[in-house]
Amino acid sequence: MSTQTRGDFTLPGEAGYEQLTLELAKKWGADVIRDSDGTKLSPEIVEAGYRIYSTICIIREHNAFAEKHPDAQQQCFLCSDPVTAAGDTVVIAPLDGYYDEQFQLNDGPDALPYWQVWDRTADMEVPRGRWTYKDGKIIVAGCEPWHRYTASFLCWRIWEEINMYNHTTNHWTSEHLRQLDPRHPLAWEYLKDWLNRWCENNPQTNVIRLTSLFYNFVWIFGIDLRRRTRFVDWGSYDFTVSPAALAAFEREYGYALTAEDFIHQGRLQATHRPPTPHKRDYMDFIQRFVADKARELVEIIHSHGKQAYVFYDDSWVGMEPYGKYFASIGFDGLIKCVFSGFECRLCAGADVPVHELRFHPYLFPVGLGGLPTFMEGGHPEKDALDYWLHVRRALLRQSVDRIGLGGYLHLTEGFPEFTETIAQMADQFRQIKALHAHGAPAILPIRVAVLHTWGALRSWTLSGHFHETDGNILIHINEALSGLPVDVKFISFEDVKNGALKDTDVLINAGRAGDAWSGGDAWKDASLIAEITRFVYEGGCLVGAGEPSAAPDGDTCLRLAHIFGVDVDDGSYACHAPWAFDPEEAPFPVCREALAKKPGVRLTGPDTRVLCAADGLPQLTLHAFGQGQAAYLSGFAYSPAAARMLLDLLLYMTGQDGTAAAIAGHPLVEAAWYPADSTLAILNNSGEAIETTVSCPGGSVKVSLAPLETRIQKI
């Protein structure tokens, strides 16, 4: 079966497989053919009447230039492993333990002044006069015996990380690609010139698919296979550093950043942790730089009559779609690879003309987790369906313009169930898109604000994909919200203090004590506490999960414990008995599996209602506070049932029944109501057939759904 519909689909073509390319383009209803990292399009494909996307990773594939200008390569700060002083001298080999194919010391005259040595035991920098650097080693004199010393240093990154990943994971054997820093003036002129020439030489290309811009997410490899990936942070700015960047920063901000601003006791500043003020400054500095340079590229592309789409993955650092400068770049489209619903919303909500999703699985022998996909033992059709089940609920809520795939098309041979599954998804996608085209779906009058350190900058995502961040409660909540018929925004603590709660019905804070999602020391601000206290007292709703509003040194562990009627003991409640409780019957179905058995959760008063508990630990509570109320969840693990529990909780707290949008009787069925077409989109999230009733402003309808069915039904 081929698709019933056509268009809005980007197919990865592959030279040498021209017939397959054109066959699948037809089967999937493609209107665009693209190349991928590692594949080329042949003239036969390019001239077949499809629009053409051409993938460019602008900073890569310039090894000749990089070899001639090694100082144009990208850099970063690293920190050596600590060395314990058994005497008064310590010798540090800075790069010991790091992957020597990725890093090379930068001990040049502009880099060495940024190097530092630290006494980590005393948490003090060692004065410059007490250490020397010779033959690749640092010798520290006058050490405090038994203290531990580290060196912070700059190094060149001599292997572009995505290429490195493909070599080490997918056994590529081609030349190691290097990456250029657009901050290097010669390199920048070279890159612009190169892009101009590329555009001239590729008249058939309609859209240049930038993948992505300049700086990769941070991915630090170790030499030891027991810790090959030492550090990976999709939101980190550490790979943007260079002496030139540091000097420019100092000129602009009037103060100098040091190695320690990045190294941070060896921990680096991960996106999951609240940033220092210096880091905030540096991020803004880089964002402006990235936007400025990207704008130049887009202008070049436009000058050749082509469009510029940007792929939001890999080298995307500094161009966050919800960042202050993203819209100013002038991209024509944003392409987001999606495993999950939250990524769909992240793309759909960005301020850019075209929103396109690249579905998973990528057409590669193995998936990101290293498991087989398009090879023996793989089930790519199951993977695709699994991701689709996450994405389709988000697609109901907010329109995207296009979908597509990427990778080696020939790998689909021998997987006919996969090609069939994709054909069905493409049809469903186009049906849903058509509904949106006539008007937005009904939404509940519930304005949710997710509150964390980063606010809008990190709307929907934390730092990478779901499976990379699934130890964080918030990504599960974001995933649940991505398919709910409520308004969702992401706000920062500053936003709250600047009045953001006036447009908010339900405030959500979810994270672990001290992390960026809970907020850490931000909660030491009494004016923040007072503003949220006012908000709830006057009728607002508060939802907390995990260790919301946790900060040390308060009279409660959660700074909003008085609103939650719950606290999470960090040990400081020693000898204080908690309030005993009997759980009550919850007014809606509780998805127990979504909640955690979190030690230390305790009621702070007699009026907190416990809707679910395990082993004597409250898991889901409600607490009236003034005219408002608060819910506490000990944890939240995404599943369709968990998402429904969250919806039921929001409805219960705001006194609604859900029919203002569309709601099914069965908790594993979700629905959206498109009033312009008098049409319901109904999703069976269960692997079983379900009969249920869906209620919406258009009335109630009884439906019998096949397992996992997507039903589009006029009323």
Task: Show which residues are catalytic.
Answer: 314
Query: Which of 15, 112, 139, 232 is close enough to bind a second copy by CB under 8 A?
Result: 232
Is 274 among the residues that bind a second copy (CB under 8 A)? no
Is 141 among the residues that bind a second copy (CB under 8 A)? no
Q: Which residue carries 């008085």 as its tokens?
A: 562
Is 317 among the residues that bind a second copy (CB under 8 A)? no
Is 91 among the residues that bind a second copy (CB under 8 A)? no
E runs forming strands in 379-512: 402-404, 447-451, 487-491, 506-511
The rounded distance, in Å, linking the Cα atoms of 471 and 637 is: 9
Query: Which of 305, 575, 585, 687 is close enough to bind a second copy by CB under 8 A?
Result: 575
Query: Which of 133, 198, 581, 588 is close enough to bind a second copy by CB under 8 A?
Result: 581
The rounded distance, in Å, linking the Cα atoms of 453 and 514 is: 11
Query: Which of 176, 192, 230, 288 is close enough to bind a second copy by CB under 8 A?
Result: 230
Distances (CA, A) of 111 to 213, 252, 260, 484: 25, 19, 14, 50
**DSSP code, position 275:** P
Query: Six-digit token pair at 72?
Result: 């144009």
Query: Six-digit token pair at 144?
Result: 């405090």
Nearest Cα neighbor of 663 from 638, 637, 683 is 683
From 262-270, 307-315, 338-346, 635-643, give the range in contact with a second copy by CB under 8 A: 262-270
Q: What is the residue-wise DSSP string for 299-343?
A: HHHHHTT-EEEEE-SSS-TT--TTSTTHHHH--SEEEEEESSHHH
Query: Which of 38, 365, 554, 583 is close enough to bind a second copy by CB under 8 A?
Result: 554
- Using an 8 Å Cβ cutoff, are 42 and 15 in contact? yes
Is 531 among the residues that bind a second copy (CB under 8 A)? yes
Query: Which of 35, 71, 515, 670 is close enough to bind a second copy by CB under 8 A?
Result: 515
Nearer to a second copy, 120 or 176 (CB): 120
Residue type, 55: T
Minimum CB separation of residue 503 from a second copy in Å reads 19
Is 502 among the residues that bind a second copy (CB under 8 A)? no
Nearer to a second copy, 363 or 541 (CB): 541
**Interaction with a second copy in 20-39: which residues (CB under 8 A)?**
none
**DSSP code, position 86:** S
Binding mask 451-480 for a second copy (x = CB under 8 A): ------------x-----------------
The rounded distance, in Å, linking the Cα atoms of 126 and 116 is: 8
The rounded distance, in Å, linking the Cα atoms of 263 and 49 is: 52
E runs forming strands in 429-575: 447-451, 487-491, 506-511, 541-546, 566-568
Minimum CB separation of residue 453 from a second copy in Å reads 13
Q: Which residue carries 């040498």 as its tokens?
A: 16
Is 610 among the residues that bind a second copy (CB under 8 A)? no
Distance, CA of 36 to chain centre: 22
Is 714 among the residues that bind a second copy (CB under 8 A)? no
Is 597 among the residues that bind a second copy (CB under 8 A)? no
The rounded distance, in Å, linking the Cα atoms of 506 and 277 is: 29
Minimum CB separation of residue 514 from a second copy in Å reads 5
Is 117 among the residues that bind a second copy (CB under 8 A)? no
**Interaction with a second copy in 656-695: which residues (CB under 8 A)?**
none
Say if residue 212 is preceded by a cis peptide, omega within 30 of 0.
yes
Q: Which residue carries 């405090």 as its tokens?
A: 144
Query: Which of 132, 417, 537, 706 is close enough to bind a second copy by CB under 8 A?
Result: 537
The rounded distance, in Å, linking the Cα atoms of 212 and 298 is: 12
**Which residues, listed in sequence order, are joined to residue 207 by a DSSP beta bridge?**
53, 307
Is 647 among the residues that bind a second copy (CB under 8 A)? no
Nearest Cα neighbor of 347 from 391, 387, 288, 297 is 391
Query: Six-digit token pair at 555?
Result: 């009279």
**Interaction with a second copy in 163-202: which residues (CB under 8 A)?**
none
How many residues interact with a second copy (rule CB under 8 A)?
A: 64
Nearer to a second copy, 559 or 644 (CB): 559
Minimum CB separation of residue 157 from a second copy in Å reads 17
The rounded distance, in Å, linking the Cα atoms of 428 and 422 is: 10
Nearer to a second copy, 23 or 81 (CB): 81
Is 489 among the residues that bind a second copy (CB under 8 A)? no
Nearer to a second copy, 572 or 713 (CB): 572
Query: Which of 135, 376, 555, 585 is close enough to bind a second copy by CB under 8 A?
Result: 555
The rounded distance, in Å, linking the Cα atoms of 486 and 472 is: 22
Query: Which of 71, 181, 233, 320 is close enough to bind a second copy by CB under 8 A?
Result: 233
**DSSP code, position 255:** S
Is 584 among the residues that bind a second copy (CB under 8 A)? no
From 116-124, 178-186, 284-292, 296-304, give the range in contact with a second copy by CB under 8 A: 116-124
Q: Based on C-alpha coordinates, what's the Rg of the chain?
A: 27
Q: Helices 341-348 and 473-481: crossing angle, nearest 10°?
A: 60
From 167-175, 261-269, 277-285, 327-335, give the range in contact with a second copy by CB under 8 A: 261-269
Say if residue 552 is preceded by a cis peptide, omega within 30 of 0.
no
From 82-90, 369-377, 398-406, 431-439, give the range in contact with a second copy by CB under 8 A: 82-90
Is 534 among the residues that bind a second copy (CB under 8 A)? yes
Is 570 among the residues that bind a second copy (CB under 8 A)? yes
Say if residue 361 is preceded by a cis peptide, omega within 30 of 0.
yes
Nearer to a second copy, 393 or 602 (CB): 602
Query: Which of 129, 606, 655, 687 is close enough to bind a second copy by CB under 8 A?
Result: 606
**Interaction with a second copy in 622-641: which residues (CB under 8 A)?**
626
From 231-239, 278-286, 311-319, 448-456, give the range in contact with a second copy by CB under 8 A: 231-239
**Residues 6+ positions from 368 with CB-CB distance below 8 Å:** 362, 465, 467
Query: Which of 66, 335, 529, 681 is close enough to bind a second copy by CB under 8 A?
Result: 529
Residues engaged in binding a second copy (CB under 8 A): 81-82, 84, 86, 120-123, 144-148, 150, 218, 224, 226-227, 229-233, 236, 265-268, 270-273, 463, 512-515, 526, 529-531, 533-534, 537, 552-555, 562, 570-581, 605-606, 626
